Amino acid sequence: MYNLIRAELFKLRRDRSFLVLLLIIALLSLAYPLLYYIDNKTSGKPQFTGAEFLIKFVASNGYVIKFSVAALAGFFIASEYTTGVMKSAASSGNDRGKLYTAKLIGFSAGAMVISLIFPLLSLAEVSMISGFGQLPEGVDALFIPRALGFTLLYTAAYAAIGALFTAVFAESGKTISFLMIFFLAINMILGSLAEYIPVLATVYDYSVFKLLGEIGKTHMDGSDLPALLLAPLLTIVVSGLLGVLVFRKKEIK
């Protein structure tokens, strides 16, 4: 199992799609705050400090997480079905459950690295331009490590969902298209259905799809944390087990 995980992490470091995604997200992370800087300077508005920028825009990182998981699932995992790599791996004698788990760990690690680029790079750039500033009065001093920690945890949950659907479709184009639409539309779909089916309202309230938007909250009390922690952990476990089940029964051509 250890060797399988090492092999996946080795492939990840050399995967062109992963490196290209890193570069694209890095460039966007530098350009995004720069546009605000130019706009504010032109209009005479006060500039954001690093702390203010992170608080205001950390929620925008949710789109980076969804986009990177969908793209990486298609290029890093699904492409191996079409190139025959997955068939060779499945016929190598290794347990399919271990193969899937190692692939999920490597894939999640890549998505988690990408998920930190926007908050860290934009924070560094704005801090260099306008200074880090200070957190607003009343904001918990643990806000930054808490937001980054939840970013990693929720990215892993989204990666587990992405890997599950990749095992179902086993094709890059279908995987990327489906995951893009699914991640962008699931909130609207569940939110609309919850108005007519009460039990769905509870499911939606405690799902990673809704709670992803809560991880950048500046104020959290003890009642927020259990749901914010349990929802992604349960999603990882359930999606991972379903993914193993699908992968074990799948005929790989």
- Is the whole model's pTM more than 0.75, yes or no? yes
Q: What average pLDDT does the segment 103-116 reach?
A: 93
* Cα angle 44, 35, 138; round to 5: 70
Rank 49-58, 138-147, 172-181, 215-224 by mean pLDDT and report only the highest: 172-181
Determine the distance from the C-alpha atom of residue 217 to the mean position of all C-alpha atoms in its chain, rounded to a whole number: 18
Of the candidates 134, 118, 3, 1, which has an alpha carbon nearest to the alpha carbon of residue 63?
A: 118
Q: What's the pLDDT tens digit per position in 214-240? A: 888 887 777 788 889 999 999 999 999
Estimate the share of the chain in helix, then strand, then coil, as percent rounded to the nearest 5. Answer: 80, 0, 20
Give the model's confidence band at 51: pLDDT under 50 very low, under 70 low, under 90 confident, else very high: confident
Provide the residue range defining the domain that includes 153.
1-252
How much is the CA Rg of the chain, to the nearest whole Å? 20
Judged against a pLDDT cut of 80, whether residue 205 lies above it is answered with yes
How far apart (Å, rounded) are the C-alpha atoms in residues 99 and 247? 9
How far apart (Å, rounded) are the C-alpha atoms in residues 126 and 33? 7
Check residue 72 and report its DSSP letter: H
- From residue 27, alpha-carbon distances to 10, 15, 209 in Å are 24, 19, 26
% of the chain at pLDDT higher than 90: 38
Beta carbons of 35 and 126 less than 8 angstroms apart: no
Give the model's confidence band at 131: pLDDT under 50 very low, under 70 low, under 90 confident, else very high: confident
Judged against a pLDDT cut of 80, whether residue 87 lies above it is answered with no
Return the higher-pLDDT residue of 232 and 91: 232
Give the model's confidence band at 112: pLDDT under 50 very low, under 70 low, under 90 confident, else very high: very high
pLDDT at 207: 92
Q: What average pLDDT does the segment 130-143 reach?
A: 81
pLDDT at 203: 87
Judged against a pLDDT cut of 80, whether residue 32 lies above it is answered with yes
Q: How many domains, in total, are found in the chain?
A: 1
Burial degree of 73 (CB within 10 A; 0-12, 13-18, 19+): buried
pLDDT at 162: 94
Q: What average pLDDT does the segment 5-9 reach?
A: 88
- From residue 2, alpha-carbon distances to 99, 102, 106, 167 in Å are 11, 8, 12, 22
Q: What average pLDDT does the segment 151-167 reach?
A: 94
pLDDT at 190: 87
Please provide the average confidence, as pLDDT, over all residues in the chain: 88
Return the higher-pLDDT residue of 86 and 101: 101
Burial degree of 194 (CB within 10 A; 0-12, 13-18, 19+): middle
pLDDT at 208: 93
